[in-house]
Amino acid sequence: MSSPPENDSPEALFASLTNSVRRLVDVTIRSQASLDTIASAKATIDAAADELGQDLIPGSFGVQEDQDGRPLAWGNAVIGLRNALAPPLVVHHESDGRVWADVTLGAAYEGPPGHVHGGICALLLDHILGATAHKPGRPAVTGTLTVRYELGTRLGPVQLQAHIDRVEGVKTYAVGHVSTSDGITVRAQGVFIHPG
Amino acid sequence: MSSPPENDSPEALFASLTNSVRRLVDVTIRSQASLDTIASAKATIDAAADELGQDLIPGSFGVQEDQDGRPLAWGNAVIGLRNALAPPLVVHHESDGRVWADVTLGAAYEGPPGHVHGGICALLLDHILGATAHKPGRPAVTGTLTVRYELGTRLGPVQLQAHIDRVEGVKTYAVGHVSTSDGITVRAQGVFIHPG
C-alpha cells in the first residue's frame, strides 16, 4: 500500500473532484427532479465543465509520471483516479501472487434490472486477471479472455479475485472470478501477453 | 428507427443533461486547470448533484415503461440515455439479422495509452452480440463470451458488428467484432440465453 495522499495534495483534490462527478453520474440516472430543475442543473454542470475545460491535455491522459517517476494511470477506465467511469478499482497484490479488489457497483453499472451488466463483469475481470501479469513499467495486454456467467451479479458489494495458472514465455495464463453474497457469479480465464 | 424526440420532451432534456455529464467526465480527466479552479468546479458540481439528488429513484433505474408501454433502459451501462458511463451505444438492427453500432470512444475509455481498454471492448462486444438475441420484452442474458484481441484499438471512431451464427433451443450463438480504420481489432463469440 502506498501512503495516503495529504488532504491538500493534487492527488487528493482530483480524487475528491472525481468522486463528486461519480455522484453526479449516479443522480443523473436516478433523479426524479422537475424538468425545470433538470434544466437548471444542466446549466450548472456546463459552467463547471467550461471552467475545467479551458486548458486540456490533448487527446487522453495516457500514463504520466509523478515527481518520483512512478507511472500514474489516472485516466484508466477501470482504475483511474480521475476517471468517473472507473469505480475505481483498488487492486491488491498478495505475496502469493493472488490479486483481488472489493468494489461497490451502483446504478451506473446496471444491465438487467437490479444486476450488474454482463459486459461490466467482463471489463472488471479483464483488468483483474491482467493485473496478475502486470510488472512495474511493463504492462501486459490481453490476448484472449473467456467469461462464463453462472449467476446474475446483483448491484452492490462485489469481490474480484484472480491468480496465475501458469506462465509460458511471454504469455501469462490467469483465472479469476466475480463473487457476491450469492457466491461466485462469473468465472473467467485469460491469456495476457508482454509485448516484446 | 424511432422518431427523434421533440426538443422540449423529457427524453431530449435528459439526453442533453447526460451529454453535459459525459463532457464533464472527459474534462475531469484532461483538465490542466489550477488547483483553485479544480476546487471551485468541484463545489459547483456538488451543487448540481444536490439539486438533482433531492428526490431519487431508489436503487437503480431498472427498466421502466414509457406512456406507450415501451421499455426504457435509460440507466443501462452501454445504451442508457441517462447513463454518462454509456457512450451511449445506438444499436442498429438490419433486416438480415446483422446488428451494428458506430461509436466514438474518448479519453474515458482508455486502457493502454491512446488505446481503448481491452475490457471496454469486451463490454461493448457483450452488448452488441447479445443484441442479436434480444427480442422485445424478452432480453437474453450472457452465458459465455470469448474475446480475442488481434490489434490495439485506438481511441476515436470505432465500429461494432455482430450476427447470429446459429440458434439451438434457448441458446443463441453470436459472433462479432470491433473495427477501426486499422481493420478488425477484436473478435468475439458468445452464447446468449433466453431465461425460461
- Give me the helices (H) in chain A, please: 10-30, 35-52, 118-133
Q: What is the C-alpha to C-alpha distance for residues A134 and A99, in angstroms, rounded to an integer?
A: 11
Q: What is the C-alpha to C-alpha distance for residues B124 and A97, in angstroms, rounded to an integer?
A: 30
Question: Which residue in the set A21, A141, A149 is minimally distant from B25, CB to CB?
Answer: A21
Mutation for B interface: A24, A141, A189, most B CBs within 10 A: A24
Contact B52 A61 (CB under 8 A): no
| Reported pTM | 0.95
Distance from CA of B136 to the nearest CA of A (A): 14
Across chain A, mean pLDDT equals: 93
Contact A49 B124 (CB under 8 A): no
Q: Nearest residue on chain A to B59, judged by CA atoms?
A: A107
pLDDT at A134 (0 to 100):
82
Q: What is the C-alpha to C-alpha distance for residues B27 and A56, in angstroms, rounded to an integer?
A: 7
What are the residues facing A173 on neighbouring strands?
A166, A191
Residue with cell 461494432: B160
* Per-domain residue ranges of chain A: 1-88, 91-193
Contact A48 B46 (CB under 8 A): no
Residues of B in contact with A54 (CB under 8 A): 33
Contact A24 B37 (CB under 8 A): no
Mutation for B interface: A7, A9, A19, A20, most B CBs within 10 A: A20
Q: Does ipTM top 0.90?
A: yes
Each residue's pLDDT tens digit, B120-173: 999 999 999 999 998 776 778 899 999 999 999 999 999 999 999 999 999 999
Contact A37 B52 (CB under 8 A): yes
Mutation for A interface: B9, B16, B19, B28, most A CBs within 10 A: B28
Contact A77 B16 (CB under 8 A): no
Each residue's pLDDT tens digit, B73-117: 999 999 999 999 999 999 999 999 899 999 999 999 999 999 999
B101: nearest Cα among B130, B73, B141: B130
- Report percent pLDDT > 90 for chain B: 85
Three-class secondary structure of residue A48 per DSSP: helix
Lowest mean pLDDT among A26-35, A49-58, B2-11, B54-63: B2-11
Residues of B in contact with A146 (CB under 8 A): 144-147
- On the question of pLDDT at A1 being above 50, the answer is no
Q: A22-59 burial by CB neighbour count: b if 16+ within 10 A, else e?
A: bbbbbbbbbbebeeebbeebbebbbbbbebbbeeeeee
- CATH C-level class of A91-193: alpha beta
Q: Nearest residue on chain A to B28, judged by CA atoms?
A: A82
pLDDT at B99 (0 to 100):
97
